[in-house]
Amino acid sequence: MIAQYLARRLLEAALAVLVVALLVFGLFHLMPYNVAAILAGPRATEAQVAATAAALGLNLPLPLQFLRWLGDLASGGMALAVQMAMPTLELLLLASAVGLALALGLAELQVRAPGSVWDRLAATAAYVLYTLPSFWVGFILIYFFAIELLWLPATGPTLDPASQRAWPLYMVLPVLTLALTTIATWSGGVRAAIEESLRSDYVRTARAKGASERRLFRRHILRNALLPVITTAGMSLPGLFNNIIAIEYLFAMPGLGAGLIGALIAFDFGTAVDLVVVIAVVTVLGSLVADVCYVLADPRIQYR
Amino acid sequence: MTRGLSKAPASSPELPPDAPDARRGALRFLRRLGRQRAFWVGGGLLAFLLVFSFLGPLIFAYHAGETEIRVAQQFLPPSLAHPLGTNVLGQDELAQMMIGGQAPILAGFEATAIAAAIGILLGMAAGYGGAAADSLLMRASDVVLSVPQVVPILLLDALLQPGTQVLVLVVALTAWPPMARAVRARTLALRSLPFMEAARAGGAPLGRTLRRHLLPNLLDDILVTGAQVFANVVLVMAITTFVGLGLPPPWNWASMFAGDMNGVLGGQWWVVFPPGIAFSLLLLSVSLLSEGLRHALNPAYGGQAAA
């Protein structure tokens, strides 16, 4: 049953990625640029431009070019793109973990004493974070922690070996920036889920049996409230990528954002398409994993 | 949004006995609106930002719009002559902030309007048009949602260098799915209610059924989602502008960040804080405004606790 569900979802995911790849591929070939002339260089002769075009297969019909590109992707292009995307994925995973922990912490504050100063403070903080551009939050963090206090480096881990050796230190500010953005998108959902769980019978039962508030929150409320949060987390991945691109730029980090902007500026359409496909794979897989986790975590859900 | 409601009685000559009632309804709506603190605070904030950005440069003409570089006046701290100090090029920061608000505000509202129009149309089509249309439109919205919005904007920006109008259109084309989903969900919930059945049974044409009976009942969802779409398009345009693409010159709040990054490294706080605070105030004002309107439109929707 679950295998069938998984197979169908994987097929759907693959189809979605294929559609994205086709769109991006088509978009590039609609562009009014002579890619071969650009790549061959400004002083290339016509024969050299023609040779470049032939080597890249730019003279082939479009469907054939697409198949050729798929073949390239399978035979190493994908591995290269994933390698370029690794720093981004590290940032994404770390920030999601930190953001989720912070959002749950905030929600616990709010739910333990509804209407208290803490509750209103947490709600206001989440709301203000939601209205701030992510890179500006990073700006402020750099200003205080790197410039005024001199506690942390002002960039993320760059290609400089020194920053790679002190990797955790360099990751603090980028991860914190993205995590704060994540809180803004998640905290509302987390709080709503917890409040719904608070109204349920099993929480009343647990409270009636004398469970401490702490145990009540950790054992009964949190576990059930996590379910909708999983879905939100999976769906918010594309939005996170918007912010990741800005944050990578701000902290001068290598990764998908830098790779994509660099490839576009250099008219390296091949690399750009590969990177977009990696992004699509990550977001589609993210929502797939979220759905599967949901199904596994809640036995009441029927696979459809 | 509100105009449609208050205009409704005037444009319904076939129902004369209802007209006074409807007009009283509009009056009641305005009175409820007047009691919404969120509406006044949000509206006041937005009015301030509009005056600041569009009238401000006319009043406070000090170096406004001037692009001359005065390195000797670089990073002057706030003073009477320069209330917010000067930036990396020696330009007055307050004048920059005023002009810098025009592009984000205009482009934000334009993109929101286009995205909302697309989302409302597709959402109603999906919710009202039967299973096949629903499934097709929701798959389309899934595809759009699964690609980070910044990516297609960066692609088009880098390759075609479009003007502001094309950029606004592209941003809107990436931003409609939340609106479509909200409208679809409400349409599905409403379509089989008695008043909709009555409209259909009474032989009202489809367009009229949707416009006069369905749309007014979607307004509060449209307002809430509209404010979210506004926040989304403004921030997405800010991100693309920040990385060096996006909104073309003249400068705006987002491109000021990129130019003043050196100010951060030098500890010049007066170039660091204003643009971000301005963005926050803009999104806050629109969100409060929509909150107030929604509560006045539909008092049953969550009550007045949040106002």
Yes or no: say if B247 and B241 are a contact pair by the CB < 8 Å rule: yes
Q: With beta carbons under 8 A apart, name residues in chain A contacting B269.
A: 143
The residue of chain B with its CA nearest to that of A283 is B146
Confidence at residue A299, expressed as pLDDT on a 0 to 100 scale: 66
CB contact under 8 A, A147 and B265: yes
Amino acid at B184: R
Q: Which of B145, B239, B261 has the CB atom closest to A133's CB atom?
A: B239
CB contact under 8 A, B276 and A136: yes
> How far is C-alpha B163 from the chain's CA centre?
20
Q: Is the pTM of this model over 0.90?
A: no
Residue B302 confidence class, pLDDT cut points 50, 70, 90: very low
The residue in chain B having the minimum alpha-carbon distance to the alpha carbon of residue A280 is: B147
Chain B residues with beta carbon closer than 8 angstroms to that of A16: 142-143, 146
Q: What is the pLDDT of residues A113-123, one digit of tens each?
A: 777 788 788 77
**Contact call for residues B115 and B233 (beta carbons, < 8 A):** yes
Which residues in chain B have their CB less than 8 angstroms from residue A140's CB? Answer: 272-273, 276
Which amino acid is it at B39? F
- How is chain B split into domains, by residue range? 49-55+91-297
Weakest-pLDDT range from B10-14, B20-24, B96-100: B10-14
Name the token pair of B224: 């809430």
- Whether B151 and A19 lie within 8 Å, measured CB to CB: no
Contacts of A114 in chain B (CB under 8 A): none
Q: Is A60 exposed, middle or buried (0-12, 13-18, 19+ CB in 10 A)?
A: middle
What is the C-alpha separation between A58 and A46, in angstroms, rounded?
15
Q: How crowded is residue A154: how many other Cβ atoms within 10 Å of its Cβ? A: 18
pLDDT at B304: 37
Residues of A in contact with B267 (CB under 8 A): 143, 147-148
- Integer CA distances (angstroms), A299 to A9, A201, A202, A291, A294, in order: 18, 18, 16, 13, 9
CB neighbours of A277 closer than 8 A, spacing ≥ 6?
Answer: A17, A20, A21, A24, A73, A78, A81
| pLDDT beyond 60 at B67 | no
Nearest CA in chain B to A142: B264
The answer to whether residues B256 and B92 touch, using CB atoms and an 8 Å cutoff, is no
- Closest chain B CA to residue A137: B276
- CA of B231 to nearest chain A CA: how many angstroms apart? 7
Q: How far is CA B41 from the centre of its chain?
A: 17
The answer as to CATH 1.10.3720.10 being correct for domain B49-55+91-297 is: yes
Nearest-CA residue of chain B relative to A272?
B155
Looking at CA atoms only, how far is residue B57 from chain A in angstroms?
25
User: Could you tell me which residues come within 8 angstroms of residue A298 by beta carbon, excluding any fewer than 6 positions away?
Assistant: A227
Instruction: State which residue of chain B sits closest to A23, comparing Cα positions.
Output: B152
Q: Is B214 helix (H, G, I), strand (E, B) or coil?
A: helix
Residues 6+ apart with CB under 8 A from A114: none
- How many whole angstroms separate alpha carbon A45 and alpha carbon A38? 12
Asked if residues A302 and A291 have their Cβ atoms less than 8 Å apart, the reply is no
Mutate to test the interface with B, among A19, A20, A134, A136 (most CBs of B within 10 A): A136
Percentage of chain B modeled with pLDDT above 90 = 9
Provide the shortest C-alpha distance from residue A275 to chain B (in Å): 10
Question: Cβ separation of A139 and B243 shorter than 8 Å?
Answer: no
B18: closest CA of chain A, how far (Å): 41
pLDDT tens string A71-82 = 887 787 778 888
Rounded to 5 degrees, what are φ and ψ at A143?
-60, -45
Taking only the tens place, the pLDDT of each residue in A166-198 is 777 778 888 888 888 888 777 767 777 777 777
Phi–psi pair at B300, nearest 5 degrees: -75, -15
Write the pLDDT tens digit of every residue in B68-102. 667 777 777 777 777 777 777 777 778 888 888 88
Nearest to B273 by CA among A165, A43, A140: A140
Report the C-alpha gap between A37 and A31 in whole angstroms: 14
Confidence of residue B110 (pLDDT cuts 50, 70, 90): very high
